[in-house]
Every structure is written in C-alpha cells, then in structure tokens.
Structure 1
Amino acid sequence: MKRHRRSTYVRSAVQYTACHECDWLMVVPPLQPGEQAVCPRCEHKLRSLPAEARLQPMVYSIAALIMLLCSNLFPFLGMMVKGMHQDMTLYQTATTLLEEQHPALALTVYLFMQILPAICLLLICLIYSRLGQWRGKRLRKRYTLWLFRLIPWCMVEVFLIGVLVSLIKIASLADIELGYSFWAYVLFSLTMLKAFSAIDRDWLWWQQSGPVHLRTPPAPRGRAIDQNLTLCHACHGLVSLKTHRCPRCQSVLHARKPHSLQWTLALLFTAAILYIPANILPIMVTESFGQQTYSTILGGVVLLWDMGSYPVALIIFIASVLVPMVKMLAISWLCWSVYVKRLHHRRGRTRLYRLTEFIGRWSMVDVFVVAILVALIRMGKLMSVYPGSAALAFAGVVVLTMLSAMSFDPRLLWDTEPDTVQPVTEGKSDRAE
C-alpha cells in the first residue's frame, strides 16, 4: 500500500518546490514518464520522471560493471615500433605512474577513471534493488547522499577523449592496435552515462522516504527564503528553516551555502597559483635514442599543430589552456557581481555559472593523455615517456576549479532581484508554474 501511494503521488499529486539556482517557489505539475519540469525564472531543470525510472538505472549499472570488469581483463592498447611490440592494460595507466614515483598522480587518475565510477554503479545497484523495503532504509539514505556527491567526479568520458588524443599523437610514430578492453571501456562509458541520466534525485528520495511535509502550504511565486523555507541541498526537499536538519535526509540546512564567496575565492586563488607551474613546467618528458625532450602544455599544442592535427590541437588548447583560465575569470566575475549587487542579466549569469560547472572536468584530458602515453610507450632508450612535474599541478588546478564552482551559491545572484518572472521561450519540456 505504501509503495502504491508513493507511485500515485509522483504521477498525479501537486508538489511544492524551490529552484536550486534562483530560490523561486513554485508548484510542480504532475509529470508523465519522459517529461521534465523547468524553472520559469532561470530555466534550471527542476526534476524529471524517466521512463522505467526504477528499472533502467539498475540494469544499466549492472551492464556497466560487467563492461568495466572486461576492460581490465584484456590488453587495452598496443603499438608496434621498428619491430618492437608494446601492450598496455587499463590499470597500467595508474600502476606505471606509481612505479615512476608519482603516487598522488596515480591515485588521481585511477580514482576518476575507475574507482569512483565503480563505487557509484555499486551504490546504484544497492539502492535501487531494495527500493520500497524498510529494512536498511537508513543505510540506503547514506548511500544516496554519497552517490550524488561522487557522480560529478566520474570522468570516464573525459578519459576516452584522452585516449583518442593520445592515439593521434603517436599515430605517425607507430602502428596502433585497439585491444578488446578498449571496446569494453567504450561500452562501459556509454552504459554508465545512461545509468546516471536515468536517475532523478527527487523521484529517488520520494521513493525512499516520501515527501517532506510542511505545516502550512507556501505561497508560490516568491522566494523560499522570504517564507522561511529552503531547498535541502542533498535531497531537494522543501523544508522549513526552523528545523536545523532536513527531516528526510538529516542533512544540515542553510538558507545559503555558508561563506560561499569566501570558499569560492580561496579555492580559486589556490588554483590560480597552481596554474602558473602547470603551464611553465614540463608536463611530459619524452626519451628517444637516449635524448630527452621536455614538453609543456602549450608546447604539445604547437607540436600537434605542426603535425597537421589541427582539430586535436584546438581541443587540447581549449580544454587545457583556455577552459581553466576562462573558468577562473568567469567565477571571479560572478563573485564580483554578487559583491556589488548587480541587478541586470541575472539569467545570463546563471547560464554562465552552469557552463563553468559543466566544462571544468574536461580540462583533465591532458592529465589522462600523460598517463596513457607513460603506460603505453615503455621501450627503454628507443622510446619512452615519463610524467613531468606539471601533471600533478594541472590536476590540482582542475580539482580546485571544480570545487570552487561547487562552493559558489548561484542563488546569491538573485538575492536582490525584484520578485518578478521574465517570460520564458516555450519549448518541448514541461515547465513549473
């Protein structure tokens, strides 16, 4: 009976919510499978109801775990140079860095490409396999909290782009072979992304704990903070600020992220400091016939351009040079606009925030390229590649800029906005009222 009531609520009952990015209170209309609700004020996606919302995440997660296992059982890449053959397995991208006395870089690479994705997929299986059961409910809540914290750090698709860039770099020097594990990892990436896209946070929390009950219904079309309400950052339940913790997930409640600007600027400043050695110091050392060549990030871009690989050179330049710099400038400007209380173009600045949050992880491409080339090109004095000191610094830049974007509270952009809603261009998706 309880499961039936939950299902009916998801599909037919009116729900109150607040936008996670602009704090606008609204009523979410009933959603059908495949539909989504979008905030009319800032166009942020509020929630969706995937088709087969219970089955799809678990099925795709199981398939992804099987593909991940297969991708570690066979050769990943191979190359032939002057009659010498060299293979690498997937886990050697980390173990080779460990052998070269770069444990922090090895851990960073292995976490983002295998460990964290595997943990997230296992958590999905554990959560979805026992939905509707009261036994182990508290533990499943903790699993769900950790799942949404870890998903942004799964960089499987970024690693695949790094593989393609690496292959283009060495295609003119050697014959390349794609092993069975490469294709298994491609399937792993696709199934993992499909599993993540099939998850809706609101639906999942409602299935586990039901709705968050308010004593008095809020008045829609206003800011949540003005009615002493806030949206829980963890489960996205609309909760009264009079309670210290969310009654559904037990997370500590705040009207705004505590010290958001201070944390954002501190992380950004640290990233800017690391950005200097990341671009000045060599990111990779190539040894050929006993002679060593040191390559910086910009040097690698120039080399690819001279080789005629213009698209790849542009990708590396944009991802490794332009994106971190633009992201740091964009977040700094957003912090400044909050500080001086700028009233114009709030929707545009919110879109800029979303863009900076999305593109930051793609800068990890160059770090993955170094890890792949170090593991693959191991032919002694004939040809070998070693990681440079800039690799770890650049990985630190990527991680710190991602953390700075996560620390920024986009609702601060709207805190001095008059309570009016600008018209939104109609689209295919359903919009909240």
Structure 2
Amino acid sequence: MPHYPLKKRHLPVNTPLVDRLPPELRVQRRRLRACHECDWVSALPPLKSGEKASCPRCSHVLVKRNRFPAQRSMALALASLIALLIAVSFPFISFNVGGVGNRIELSQTATTLIAFHQPIVAIAVIMTIIVLPAVYLVGVIWLQYGLLRGKHMSFSRDIARSLAHLTPWMMADVFIIGALVSLIKIAGMAHIELGISFWSFCMFAVLLLKTSQSLDADWMWFSLEGEPLAPEGTKTGTTGASQGVTGCPTCGLVNRLSPQGQNRCTRCHEKLHQRLPHSLQRTWALLFAATIMYIPANVYPIMTTTSLGHTTPSTIIGGVVQLLQMGSWPIAAVIFIASVIVPVGKLVALAWLCLVIKRSNELNAQSRTKLYRLTEFIGRWSMVDVFVVAILVALIRAGSLMSITPGPAALAFGAVVVFTMLAAITFDPRLIWDAPPTCSTRRETATKEPVDG
C-alpha cells in the first residue's frame, strides 16, 4: 500500500497507516454506495470521527466512522476474549435448598441438555453464547493485528467477509436476560450464589456489543483491499438496478452486474444479486415452517418441574402465569413479549410485507422499511425462553426434592426463532422500493451527473 501524506493532521509519528487518514482523504474521487435496503446510489461525503453517512432515500446507515478504528476494535476484542475465558473457567451459578445444592459452569448450560436427549438445543446454546462470539473476536483480532503492523495476515479477506454473517447469531446479551429471568424464577425457592463467571460473562456481553459497534467495515475494507473504481458512467440520484449495478452487501463496493449471472464482488468476492433470487418464495417457506413449529412450541411443555416428588409440566404461557402469581410482573412481561408477542408479531409483519410488496409506493415504502428493520432486530430476543430452560435444567438437579427437565417445546420454539431470523435475512427490502413511485418527479428531474468512481 502506498504511503499517504498526513495533510496537516497532528498525529503521533508511530501511528499506523491504517489509522492516519480516513478513506475520503486518501483518494481524489467520490466514493459511491448503493443502499442495501432501497438500492439508491449516492456518494459518501467526507466523514469525521463519530459521524455517519445515511442513505438520502431510506435513511439506512451506509458508513459510520470511528476514531482510530483498528486500535479501538482490537482493544475491545482482546478485553472481550479475556472476559469470555474467565467466564468459561470459573463457577457460573450455584444454588442450595434444604441442604442439597448444585454448582454449574457456563458450558454446562449446554452440555446438560445432551443428557436429556436435546442435542440440537445444546448445540444452539453453546454456539450462540460461546463458540460464534469467540470465533468473531479471534477474527477481529487477526484482522486488526495485520492492519496495525502494516502486513495483512493470511485469509484476511475471507475472515473479514465472514464477520458480517456471524453478527446476528451472537446472543450473549440475550443469554444474560435469560439468566436474570432464571434467577428470579427460583429466588424464592432456593439460596442463589453468583460466581465469578456470571459477572465476567455480563462484562463479556457488554464488551462484545461494543466490539461489534466499533468495527468500521468501510475503513477496514479500504485498508485491506483498497477501493476499485466504480463502474464507468454510474450515476447518483437513481437506483442501481436501473443502471445494471449493485452494492456489495459485505464491503459496500458498487459493482457492474453481468447478464450471464454468477456475479461476485471484485473486492471481497461476495456473491452479488440485483435482487435476492426467489426472495419472497423463500421467506414464505420459512414463515410457514415457523408457523407450523409454533403450534407444538405452545402446546407441549417447555420444561417439567419436580418439587417434593410432585411433577408439574409448564408451557410458555403457563410459565408467564406462574410468574404473575409470584408477583414478578416485570419478568412475566419480558417473557410474554419475547416468547409470544415477538414471534407472532414477526410472523405477521413479514407475511404482511410479502403480501403488500407489489402495492408499495414511495409514500409508504419508508414506513414499511422501518417495520422490516424492527422485525430483523427483535427476532433474536425470542431465544430468552430457550436460554432460561438451559440454565434451569443445568442448575436445578436435586432429585425428587427439586429438579427441572427440558420439554419437547424447547426444540420447537428454538426452531421458530431460527426460522423467523432466516426469513428476515432472505427477505430483500429493496423489493419494497421497486414498485413505480408516485412522488418521484422531483428525484427523476434532479441532476444525475456521471461519476467515474
């Protein structure tokens, strides 16, 4: 990578090249982006630390700039990884009732489920709270270390491309909410002690969230692979589809689409599509599967509680009622919203978006895009109930005195969460904006100057 002058910025002499100047100051041309949510082509303005550039059509954030992104991301990732190592090395939670108690480690919340013939749920738990976050953090450290030393590490491009795909499936923050719900459920029945691992995992969840927010993908990709010129003749102020171009969903680069198909980004090699193929069909199929699985998720017990020899199965709604009877109104509200309102709301919202997609216009496309963003964001929080079951099954193991076993609804409800998340991912929000706009005269008559990358 060639050396770029500092242009009157007073920075330490040893500042790494990756952090000296933002991409806007390293090139003498406008950098174009095609919005991932509405396909509007626009040029990125010069950005300072803490600023962001949003799409002028749908307000989707295209780029968010951070100060010293490489150092920030690497420091947060290292701190997160250390917190995770502590969390898996010490006791997580212990309980005692009638002289009988149990103490568990974080990993046992998943491994105990295997003994109760729930291997799929166990894999989902261990992957979302430990494995995928650890892989993500190692990938961030690997990339930023290479950027800071000025020599890219092996497989940097493949690792950078995978980070965006891992983010939705990391659920450490959701697991913390599940742990708090579990503690409140059994607080009146047993004495609870929180281990070092619990507090370390809470810190890990916060640091992981900060790490993902600190990652400046635009700056990172520019430092890794530069930025090739946008296709010749690309115009701003119109859609990419009308020009035969599209923006890469991973690195943001505007690429020309070949009519032969099998298009890949010239910078990160991600697959490119003018619109996701069979988007509505795939979304409908996943919504149908989620709807089918939602029936046994509510009919069958999600866990069975044994107390003093008496066995009581509990469904999702039954658990909410039990919390209400205990006087835990806030926790009951959290479970009811996460396990009933969110899944049903997401199914209804995505189904409605699919139904009205051909009747969209520019007046209602903005509100429908906001609804899509909301459904995409809230879907993962339905995993709270699955995590509650995993924690209680591992912790409450005192034989006939008190024990909890998982029910068949745990797998069904986990499938509902996964299917709805996949449905949101396969739905292409650009379809919302594809219908002929009714109020586009102003945009169509605006100046559309050719931009040579």
TM-score computed with the length of structure 1 as normaliser: 0.94
1:84 corresponds in structure 2 to: 100
Report what 2:2 is aligned to.
2
Q: 2:235 aligns with which of 219, 236, 246?
A: 219
Mapped to 1, the partners of 2:412 and 2:349 lie a distance apart of 21
Following the alignment from structure 1 to structure 2, what is the Cα–Cα distance between the partners of residues 337 and 102? 39
Q: What residue identity is the alignment partner of 1:312?
A: I
CA contact (8 A) 1:41 1:422 kept: no
User: How far apart, CA to CA, are the structure 2 residues paired with 1:19 and 1:322?
Assistant: 30
Partner of 2:325: 306
Alignment check: 8 A CA contact 1:40 1:421 kept: no
Spell out the pairing of 1:106-145 with structure 2 (5 A cutoff). 106-131=122-147, 133=150, 136=153, 139-145=155-161
Is residue 160 from structure 1 mapped to residue 176 from structure 2 by the alignment? yes
Distance 1:281 1:421, change over 3 A: farther
Length, aligned pairs only: 422
Aligned twin of 2:9: none
Q: Is the 8 A contact 2:113 2:122 kept in 1?
A: yes
2:255 matched residue in structure 1: 239
Tell me the amino acid that sits aligned with residue 173 of structure 2.
Answer: E
2:218 matched to 1:202?
yes
Distance 1:88 1:98 in 2: 15
Deviation at 1:234, TM superposition (A): 2.2
Distance 2:166 2:127 in 1: 11
| Contact kept? 1:264, 1:404, Cα under 8 Å | yes
- Partners of 1:186 and 1:124 lie apart in 2 by 20
Which structure exhibits the higher relative contact order, with contacts defined as CA atoms closer than 8 Å and separated by 6 or more residues?
A: 1
Correspondent of 1:175 among 180, 191, 195 = 191
CA–CA distance in 2 between the matches of 1:230 and 1:39?
15
CA contact under 8 A between 1:141 and 1:249: conserved in structure 2? yes
Distance 1:3 1:284, change over 3 A: farther
1:337 aligns to 2:356 (yes or no): yes
What is the deviation of 1:252?
2.3
* Identity score, percent: 46
> Would you say the 8 A contact 2:142–2:153 is kept in 1?
no
State TM-score, norm by structure 2: 0.90
Aligned residues of 1:41 and 1:421 also touching (Cα < 8 A): no
Deviation, structure 1 residue 350: 0.2
Q: Is the 8 A contact 1:284 1:391 kept in 2?
A: yes
Which residue of 2 is the match for residue 286 of structure 1? 305
For 1:346 and 1:340, locate their aligned partners in 2 and report how far apart those are by CA, in whole Å.
10
**CA distance in structure 2 between the partners assigned to 1:8 and 1:73 by the alignment:** 41
* C-alpha deviation, 1:127, in angstroms: 1.1
Residue type of the partner of 2:332? Answer: A
CA 249–298 in structure 1, closer or farther in 2 if over 3 Å, else same: same
Q: Distance in 2 between matches of 1:356 and 1:197?
A: 20
Q: Secondary structure at the match of 2:136?
A: helix
Deviation at 1:200, TM superposition (A): 2.1
Residues 94-113 of structure 1 correspond to what in structure 2 (within 5 A)?
94-113=110-129
Q: Distance in 1 between matches of 2:120 and 2:441?
A: 48
Residue 49 (structure 1) aligned with residue 65 (structure 2): yes
Change (3 A) 1:84 1:412: same
State the Cα RMSD in Å: 1.8
Q: What runs of 5+ residues in structure 2 fail to find an aligned partner?
A: 6-17, 444-453
Establish whether residue 408 from structure 1 lines up as the match of residue 439 from structure 2: no
